Amino acid sequence: MKKVITQILKALAYFAVYFIPLNIIVFISQFIYGYVESRKMSAAGASVEEITEYVQANVGNATVIALLITSVLVILTYFIIEKVKKTSLAKEADIRKASGKQIIFTVIGAVGGMFFLNFILLFLPIPQEMMSTLQNGLTNISTSSLVLGIITNSILVPVMEEIVFRGYIFSRLEKAMPSIVAAIISSVIFGLCHGSLLWAIWAATVGMIICVVRIKSGSIVPGMIFHIIINSFATITNAIPAFNDMTEPVLIALTVIGGILLAVYFAGILTDKSSAKKKADVSVTSVKA
pTM of this prediction? 0.88
Write 116-122 long-range contacts (CB < 8 A, 24+): 116/255, 116/258, 116/259, 116/261, 116/262, 117/202, 117/205, 117/206, 117/230, 117/258, 118/233, 118/234, 118/237, 119/251, 119/254, 119/255, 119/258, 120/255, 120/258, 120/259, 121/198, 121/202, 122/251
Residue 208 has a pLDDT of 97
Residue 139 has a pLDDT of 59
Out of 11-25, 54-68, 83-97, least confident range: 54-68
pLDDT digits (tens, 9 = 90+) for 155-189: 999 999 999 999 999 999 999 999 999 999 999 99
HEC profile of the chain: CHHHHHHHHHHHHHHHHHHHHHHHHHHHHHHHHHHHHHHHHHHCCCCHHHHHHHHHHHCHHHHHHHHHHHHHHHHHHHHHHHHHCCCCHHHHCCCECCCHHHHHHHHHHHHHHHHHHHHHHHHCCCCHHHHHHHHHHHHHCCCCCHHHHHHHHHHHHHHHHHHHHHHHHHHHHHCCCCHHHHHHHHHHHHHHCCCCHHHHHHHHHHHHHHHHHHHHHCCCHHHHHHHHHHHHHHHHHHHCHHHHHCCHHHHHHHHHHHHHHHHHHHHHHHCCCCCHHHHCCCEHHHHHC
**81: domain range?**
2-288
The answer on pLDDT for 243 being more than 50 is yes
Instruction: Name residue 108's amino acid.
Output: I
Residues 79-98 have a mean pLDDT of 94
Residue 27 has a pLDDT of 93
pLDDT digits (tens, 9 = 90+) for 115-151: 999 899 889 888 888 887 776 666 555 556 788 888 9
Residue 141 has a pLDDT of 58
* Dist CA 192 CA 162 (whole Å): 15
Out of 60-74, 115-129, 141-155, 221-235, least confident range: 141-155
The answer on pLDDT for 63 being more than 90 is no
Residue 89 has a pLDDT of 96
Residues 87-103 have a mean pLDDT of 94
What is the band of 241 on the pLDDT scale with cuts at 50, 70, 90?
low
Which of 225-248 are b and which e, b meaning 16 or more Cβ less than 10 Å from the residue's Cβ? bbbbbbbbbbbbbbbeeeeeeeee
Average pLDDT of the residues of the chain? 88
Residues 200-211 have a mean pLDDT of 95
Residues 249-276 have a mean pLDDT of 90
Residue 234 has a pLDDT of 79
The count of domains in the chain is: 1
Residue 138 has a pLDDT of 63
Which position has the higher pLDDT, 33 or 278?
Answer: 33
Residues 4-9 have a mean pLDDT of 91
* Dist CA 283 CA 170 (whole Å): 18
